[in-house]
Structure 1
């Protein structure tokens, strides 16, 4: 079966979104738990309980991040190139922060020294907080536009700076990202722990769930009334060969809200964030962490889909030269590449989901202090 080029471009926009959601739902709670580690664990045994709640699965969860990055490289190579040059320092910081995770998990408990273990606890904290914030900051900058442009030979030039990325709206987006992942991680801890850690996790859900609701609402008002969006005025046919300079783009106040006005049903997407976060707080309070994890997942999905729905068809808008903006229709790989990747994804993505589900089923259950004492030399 042959799929036309225009449809494949749209399908791959959806596929990349699915991979980002998969990353947020799985590796997201790992990062959230890392951010909570120094505060919810009051002694070494409690911190080992927290670490071992995700110890057997964190590595597999991170594969979603690697896969999403690989999909962006293959499906939108020009986006990958421009993003990595524009966000170079930020992405290096993310990479360096992620280094703490494998080393921290594997070596933290090898030495009994309290100072050694405390150092790696804070390393795992950095490995959770820094990537979570930077991912949000990146999306905050995409909504405002990134200062880059192409020359006539499609060589990209980034004219901004690292410090320019740390603007107020982007930092607010970073807080949204951190709060949703910490809320998600706290709910997962309720699923895997008992007693005092369970109770502290319950409090963390309330704090960060409320923070998510407030900051997401503030960001929505800011986008509607304080940030100019982008609009495609003219472009080649949707199935044309990609050429980022063959279209005309204008910066229009309130343009990111257009889809919600034209298609009112899309208001359900940001609504999912508010309902999901509120229900997560409620279900967590009434000791229903299984349902709370579902509603927390729904809130995360809502945040990611809100960004995608607001910006579509833009992937990476350019604030310095709007016509250089990258959109779904002119940033894609060739028809053949997208076709091969489509069939590979259709075959292997369900297998990955099934295997991941099986792993979590096998490793389900509570991690307790007694479990750590019993497995003193084999647990993380």
Structure 2
């Protein structure tokens, strides 16, 4: 038997749909508190030492956390090539804005303390704020547009055309999803700062964390109402061949209100996802400020899992619907790479993902403990 036949094609497709979700959740959980810390930087720290304390909570780890972003891009490119083609071309300007904002982070970390000027340092503090706020907002906006459908089409020669504009992405529902993302990551950053700082910085982080947790609950609920009232979901109306060719044009798709809720009606156990989306920030609201700091941070992870899984479960088997040509919508069953490619990637992932998790755990165990003003004033390798 050929090795890749040990797992059939439909199962591999579902496995990679799950793995894509795991990578997105991993990115939100690990790099999310970096972004949230950047958003909170100008507000939880009042003087230069306090701001350096905040920066040094993420300075040693943010680069390692970026691995999840690289993993996500690589996984989409290799496992879902048509998804990569549509998203990276259609969302080009949005992704450029994200990259520009993310570039501000390493530059800000490295250059902020090169001069004693208060104006110089304040400018880099706000650059770090932009480096956290803009990606958090645009990632959420992208999810909002995905739920509504993206204006692309595919011709009979499988050429993909994107007919949308950058400002078209900034519609009210997508911006609401962007605010959900900002609130969620701000809450996560506050939980991280509550774990890693002490004194006035921690107290302010706790206050902002509670506000962000409340905002996450309210905005997530509003997002659900928006999907119910404003967004037409997608459903496949033709027979489905889970082992069929990767040709999105071989199916029929209909748009209808409430279609994104069909999976919850058919499989009530999937309601666990939105339930965790509400439970996570509620736990953060209750726990932040207590001595259960690690549990608070883990509650942020629960939030990421719940909210991101809610989107995935609602849309399954769709990955990227087309608002312009619904029949061309990309799904789990007709968008993936070949059986052999998915199997080889799975074997590679089984080998290397545990290594990534192991060295990440080791780094965080070495860097455990709080960052204090005394450590910063002592110099050394502090930013």
Scaled to the shorter chain, the TM-score interval is over 0.9
The Cα of 1:47 is off from its aligned counterpart by 0.4
Cross-structure match for 2:234: 230
Counterparts of residues 240-255 of structure 1 (less than 5 Å): 240-255=244-259
Alignment-derived partner of residue 144 in structure 2: 140
- Given that residues 236 and 246 in structure 1 are in contact (C-alpha distance below 8 angstroms), is that contact kept between their aligned partners in structure 2? no
Give the deviation of 1:363 after TM superposition: 0.3
Q: Give the TM-score of the pair, scaled to structure 1.
A: 0.98
The residue that corresponds to 1:185 in the other structure is: 189
**More displaced 10-residue stretch of structure 1: 287-296 or 301-310:** 287-296
Aligned length: 379
**94, 100, 106: which one pairs with 1:102?**
106
The alignment yields a C-alpha RMSD, in angstroms, of: 1.0
Q: CA deviation at 1:208?
A: 0.4
Separation in structure 1 between the aligned mates of residue 271 and residue 244 of structure 2, nearest angstrom? 32
Task: Name the TM-score, length of structure 2 as normaliser.
Answer: 0.97
Contact (CA 8 Å) 2:203, 2:289: kept in 1 or not? no
Please list, as runs of the form range in 1=range in 2, the aligned pairs for 1:1-380 lying within 5 A after superposition. Answer: 1=3, 2-375=6-379, 378-380=381-383
- The CA distance in 2 between the partners of 1:349 and 1:286, in whole Å, is 33
Q: Return the offset for 1:286.
A: 3.1
Gaps of 5+ in 1: none
Question: What's the CA shift string for 1:195-230, capped at 9, x where partnerless?
Answer: 000100000111100000000001111112221100
| Cα distance per residue 1:81-137 (max 9 Å; x no partner) | 111111111111111111101111112112222121111111111110000000000
Q: 1:204 to 1:287 in 2, by over 3 A?
A: farther
Which has the larger displacement, 308-317 or 101-110? Answer: 101-110
What is the CA-CA distance between 1:163 and the residue it aligns to?
1.1
CA contact (8 A) 2:194 2:289 kept: no
Q: Residue by residue, what CA displacement relative to the aligned partner does 1:175-198 show, whole Å, maximum 9, x if unpaired?
A: 000100010010000100000001
The offset of 1:5, in angstroms, is 1.0
Q: SS in structure 2 opposite 1:315?
A: strand
Distance of 1:235 and 1:353 partners within structure 2: 40
**Structure 2 alignment gaps of length 5 or more:** none
Distance 1:39 1:205 in 2: 12
Q: Distance in 2 between matches of 1:338 and 1:112?
A: 53
Deviation at 1:235, TM superposition (A): 4.3
